[in-house]
Amino acid sequence: MIIDEGDFRLSDDRAEIVKILNNGNAKGFPVLRSEASKTGEFNPRAYTVFGPKIVATRGFFEDKALESRCLTEAMGQTGLRDDVPINLPPEHKEEALRLRNKLLLFRFHKLHRAGIREDLVDRTIEPRLNQIFVPLLSIIDDPSAIDDLRELARKYNREMIADRGMETEAQILEIIRDMLHSPFETRLSIKDITSWFIDRHGTEYKRTITTKWIGTIIRKKLGLCAVKTREGYFIPDSERPKLDRLFERYGINPKKYDEPGPEYSDVTAQPAV
């Protein structure tokens, strides 16, 4: 399926077209719709939306989940080749027909080989990327083409980590990492995390940075548990395994315990300005 001019007015996680495209990434996830019967009743009907799609847009989708399901090729990065005509010649349709026939023959030849090769899974990259690339790798025989495609997957993985590293969640995780290795901090207090965040990034945000806002990000977006005590909310030590996985996911290198922490201005454990 080819969708040209695919810049939808709404492309966040609540848009209907985004739900359809997300479900069409794998088999067994139909889209349900209610249809009116002859008696006036509304009955659910499942539509199969799985299949390859090419979507041409002018920008990226707002929904990160949909963007992670796409292999994106940014056009216009190089000049037009001399052998590419400005206007399509009359023989274009004939050439396109021959190409479609070749692709159909390729599908027939490879049909008996259809299946996922688990040995091609790369555990060093995101599971979503493995889900996209492994089916392609499973039908390729050329070793050099396999190497090129795997390198492309690793490139995508590095870009995804770099993008996450610029988010608010990554800034909070960097602060938590530094607090873990601070000689002045013994517990991960939400209040202290907020104070550190204001010192480091307060000028970057137009909104008021509050303990409630930071706590919401920690609980809802990072999935960390916060326990309430008489002194306030704290991230317990039991969340350390989660933190280690989050550091890896957001591309944050955890400091070694024998490395010195950041400079501090006084015993109140506030970062030096």
138-184 residue pLDDT tens: 888 899 999 999 999 999 899 888 888 889 999 999 999 999 988 87
Strand runs labelled E in the chain: 2-3, 31-36, 42-47, 54-55, 188-189, 227-229, 232-235
Residue of higher predicted confidence among 234 and 78:
234
Range 168-249: architecture per CATH = Orthogonal Bundle (1.10)
For CATH 1.10.10, list the domain ranges present in the chain: 168-249
For residues 263 and 54, which has the higher predicted lDDT (pLDDT)? 54
Integer Cα distance of 5 and 57 in angstroms: 5
pLDDT score at 117? 86
Q: How far apart are the first and last CA of the chain?
A: 55
| Residue 244, CA distances (Å) to 58, 177, 190, 240, 252 in order | 37, 9, 18, 6, 9
Yes or no: say if 9 and 18 are a contact pair by the CB < 8 Å rule: no
Torsion angle of the four alpha carbons 167, 8, 59, 148, in this order, in degrees rounded to the nearest 10: 90
pLDDT at 268 over 50: no
pTM value?
Answer: 0.68
Beta-carbon contacts of 19 under 8 Å, excluding residues fewer than 6 positions away, are 31
